[in-house]
Amino acid sequence: MFKAGFAILQGLATTIKHVFERPVTVEYPEKRKEFSERFKGRHELKRYDNGLEKCIGCSLCSAACPADAIWVEAAENTDKERYSPGERYAKTYEINMLRCIFCGYCEDACPTEAIVLEKHIELSYYDRESAIFTKEMLLVPPPPGVWGTPKSVTPHSFDRAIPVMENPE
């Protein structure tokens, strides 16, 4: 009898001890956890401060992707209708999130740091088609007060696709 009662108290003590500890879970979705710097969530396509897209449609992310999740189609920029610096921009940019394995190779391959695996984690869908993120969904909005793309620019002001390279030491 005594033995049994002790066992119960022992068990409860373990439970009660946890009542006073800080919980490891958060009240999702009202509260969210901070992710570590190297966390790899859903991608974003970045813009320059002037609103132009960083992506130049080179398809290197698509070539690097081990899961064949990225589809890029390119087209030619004009100064009247400019999406990105240089001659080429991504006309179509799609990532199939069901295929993506969040390895980050696309980020490594990108010559302009346009694609970044960000902290978005809500990736659930009712059908397969909605798992395909289009360019509009991936592209971040332009900085406040800056016109997005396409935009008309001064001729020959954005002739270079790759940001100016570093000079040698």
Partner 1 sequence: MAKTVTIVVDDIEYEVPAGMNLVDVCKQYAGVDIPVFCYHPKLGHDGNCRMCLVELATPRKNPHTGEMELAWFPTLQTACTQKTSEGMTVRTKSQKVIDGRREILEFLLSSHPLDCPICDKGGECPLQELTLRHGPGTSRMYWEEKMHLGKHVPLGELIYLDQERCILCARCIRFQDNIADDPVLAFDQRGRHQQIITASSPGFNSIFSGDTTDICPVGALTSADFRFNARPWEMVQVATICSHCPVGCNMSFDTRTDREAGGRTTIKRIMPRQNERVNEIWICDKGRFAHHHMEHPERLTKPLIRRNGRLVEAGWEEALREVTAQLQHAGENVAAIAGGRLPNEDLFALQKLIRAQGSHHIDAYPPVRGGEFTASVGVGVGTNLADMGSGDAIVVIAGDLHEEAPLWWLRVKAAAERGAMLITIGGRETRLDKFATHSLRYDYTEEVATLNALLGCMKLTGLPRSVDGLKEAVKGARAFKPDKAIKDAAEALAGANNVIALVGHEGLDGQGSHNLAQAVANLLMATGHFGRPNNGLIVVWPTANGQGASDIGVRPDYRPGYQRIPVPGMGYTDILAALADNTLRALYVVGADPLFDDPAAEQALRSTLGTIIVQDMFLTATAEVADVVLPSQSAAEREGTYTSGERRVQRFYPAIEPCGQSQPDWLIIQTIGKRLGHGNPSPSAAAVLLEIAKTVPQYAGITYQTLAEVEPQIPDVGGEDLYYGGTAFRNRHGLGVQWPAAAESGGALSAHPVEAAESIEPEEDMLLVVPITLLYDAEPVFHKTSLLHGRVPGPDILMHPEDARYLDIADGDVVRLSIDGKDITVVVRFDEQAPEGAALLPRRMQVQGAPMAATFATLVRWDVEALER
Q: Which residues bind partner 1 (CB under 8 A)?
A: 56-60, 62-63, 71, 73-76, 86-88, 91-92, 94, 111-112, 159-162, 164-165, 167-168
C-beta of 75 vs 146, nearer to partner 1: 75
The answer for 129, left when phi > 0, alpha when psi is -120 to 50, beta otherwise, is: alpha
* Shorter beta-carbon distance to partner 1: residue 73 or 108: 73
The residues near 69 (Cβ < 8 Å, ≥ 6 apart) are 95, 96, 97, 99, 100, 101
CB nearer partner 1, residue 101 or residue 162: 162
CB of 71 to partner 1, least distance (A): 7
Q: Shortest gap between Cβ of 60 and partner 1 (angstroms)?
A: 6
**Separation in Å, CA 120 to CA 36, 65, 71, 77:** 13, 19, 20, 30
Does residue 132 contact residue 63 with C-beta atoms inside 8 Å? Answer: no
What is the smallest separation between the CB atom of 129 and partner 1, expressed in angstroms? 12
Closest distance of CB 40 from partner 1, Å: 22
Specify the residue, 11 or 111, whose C-beta has the smaller distance to partner 1. Answer: 111
Phi, psi at residue 163, to the nearest 5°?
-55, 150
> Cβ atoms within 10 A of the Cβ of 148, count?
15
Supply the minimum distance, in Å, between the C-beta of residue 58 and partner 1. 4
The DSSP H or E segment spanning 64 is helix 60-64
Taking the least distance from each CB to partner 1, the nearer of 4 and 164 is 164
